[in-house]
Structure 1
């Protein structure tokens, strides 16, 4: 498999929904949500990439690092890399429907597992979205993390029980989906959660609980106070609120506030292994990647997803060697240089 062939096929399969641009920066698809773009002006989508571009990497080659250890342990699983497949749903109205919801998420989870990492699944107005994700995770021996929309309390509790029964390694709620109008239109309203409501959900499951959609230090504290095992610093790919900051923009402040209290994941704008390393240097324990894996799934199935994840891992290892970084578990912030350098 090669990248050119994969991208060519994906462009054909996603025609009318994703252009598979040379640089996936949200400019061509601004406002196309549903679709693959960011909401409104697309500024929040672009902010994720711009925030990462605010940093460069200091190259260092006079050191004793000979190999780069990209392995990490998350939720009790040894992973080949600190890169996880982000939860994605809505294949029909976001990606054109050439793959079914079931086939898409099975491809994502299986491809992630083949690459030695975890796939995440999502939730939506159609029950098949969540259920197909659970089926894919169960088929992969529980090697995945399902996310639930911030539905009514009892609805979330019921889905958490299903996630536990499927053998998932962890589960969570993407609170950044609180404003999704399509859910309300389908008679399944979602809304923000109070800290007390969040604590109630967390106390009702034995699974490690992940809160996705944290963008401020105070809400990071609230999530861990409620008992979360992990948070995801994320603006939902710029798809729910226009003009938010990029994830890398707010991550350092969040890390200062809650480092050591649990796992900190970051999601937004990851396109290369160097992006992964930047997030790690800013304090994340691992990152999520979303849109590029859509290209992998439609262009090459599970093999395509694994191919792109392995490409990220190889790029990460190369960037580590050229910054004197021996392990992804110990990445120094000093490898970063503000752009432009002073």
Structure 2
């Protein structure tokens, strides 16, 4: 199945907010929260999508015949495609009753692993979500990335200890999640973290031989702080607009961030990436790989694990086609010279 077919199949299974649009561009969901919408005006998610469409590629088919190699390295693991499934904290609340969060995580972890990629699992207000995800990642011999929200340090360290036991591919913190409306006033509290606190988390990860990734970096200044904190990777992300209105698109800030810290840390990006062409654009602007979230939720509601595998396959084919048309035999060959 292609994505449009999965979206059509999902429409009867979704809750009231996500419309399972043929193109997931943020327009229909707007500012609906709960739901997959964005905060305030609801325009940041749309801005993310549109920014990638403004990035044009240069065709170059004067080269030897080759079959594009779409694989990338992610902290010593080889991924079949530079796309991983982004984390969700409560799929039932935002997308509909078909999936419980624990079952959704199992679905995406299994399917991504079978397809040669990785899924990132979310952290929610129910402790069982994190605990179940950790068990699944351990069962899959570490083939997954677990995300921990910026709770108070006591809670973070307890969740971290549990996660490290599974020896995941990496542990992430969505540092910007303190801005989520439904975490305001929640116990344990979530909030910003100092570089000292982040260094403590990074040190615990490194002691266990696990990379630490900070998700939610949107400026050169923030990227420098992430490096200072000991992070091994960052995700250039505005949380799909769900934490703050009026911020730039990720595509617009990625190049400067990649130029500043790309030789020091792994640089990932998310926000509005929907096709293999978008993945090519992201790598050309300096990303090492991408996260895609909302369309994979739609894929699971439409076709379960098969939908996840099919969408990853679609992205790989689209990326490979673009690489061949632009003269990039491997993902390492993709650079800014291939953009118009």
Quickly name the TM-score band, shorter chain normalised: over 0.9
- Match in the other structure for 1:17: 17
Q: Which residue of the other structure, out of 244, 248, 252, is the alignment partner of 1:245? A: 248
Unaligned ranges ≥5, structure 2 = none
Please say if 1:220 is aligned against 2:214. Answer: no
Distance 1:65 1:230, change over 3 A: farther
Counterparts of 1:328 and 1:16, CA distance in 2: 39
Cα offset, 1:129, TM superposition = 2.0
3-state secondary structure, aligned to 2:263: coil
Alignment-derived partner of residue 178 in structure 2: 178
For the residues of structure 2 that align with 1:276 and 1:65, how far apart are their CA atoms?
A: 22
Q: Distance in 1 between matches of 2:59 and 2:335?
A: 13
Counterpart secondary structure, 1:147: strand
TM-score, with length taken from structure 2? 0.96
Question: What's the counterpart of residue 90 of structure 2?
Answer: 90
Cα distance change on mapping 1:2 and 1:260 into 2, 3 Å: closer
* Structure 1 residue ranges without an equivalent (≥5): 338-342
Normalised TM-score (structure 1)? 0.95
Distance 2:160 2:127 in 1: 14
**Alpha-carbon distance, 1:185 to partner:** 4.1
CA contact (8 A) 2:2 2:314 kept: no
Residues 319-338 of structure 1: per-residue CA shift (max 9 Å, x gap)? 0000001111231201112x
What is the deviation of 1:5? 4.3
2:312 and 2:214 map into 1 onto residues whose CA distance is 24
Structure 2 residue 119 is matched with structure 1 residue 119: yes
Secondary structure of 2:297 counterpart? helix
Where do residues 180-195 of structure 1 align in structure 2 (5 Å cutoff)?
Answer: 180-195=180-195
Provide the C-alpha distance between the structure 1 equivalents of 2:79 and 2:39, rounded to a whole number of angstroms: 33
2:277 corresponding residue in structure 1:
274
Measured in 1, the distance between the counterparts of 2:136 and 2:300 equals 14
1:65 positional shift: 4.7
Measure, in 2, the Cα distance between the counterparts of 1:26 and 1:269. Answer: 8
- Offset at 1:8? 2.4
Q: What's 2:63 paired with? A: 63
**Deviations, residues 31-67 of structure 1 (Å, cap 9, x unaligned):** 1121011111112111211221221111111112512
Conserved? CA contact 2:7–2:21, under 8 Å: no
Cα distance change, pair 290–133 in 1 and its aligned pair in 2 (3 A): same
Alpha carbons of 1:86 and 1:3: their partners in 2 closer, same or farther (altered >3 Å)? closer
Mapped partners of 2:6, 2:335: distance in 1? 35
* Number of the residue aligned with 1:340: none
Equivalent position of 2:315 in the other structure? 312
Superposition deviation, residue 139 in structure 1: 2.5
Answer yes or no: is the 8 Å Cα contact 2:8–2:22 preserved in 1. no
8 Å Cα contact 2:2-2:311 kept in structure 1: no
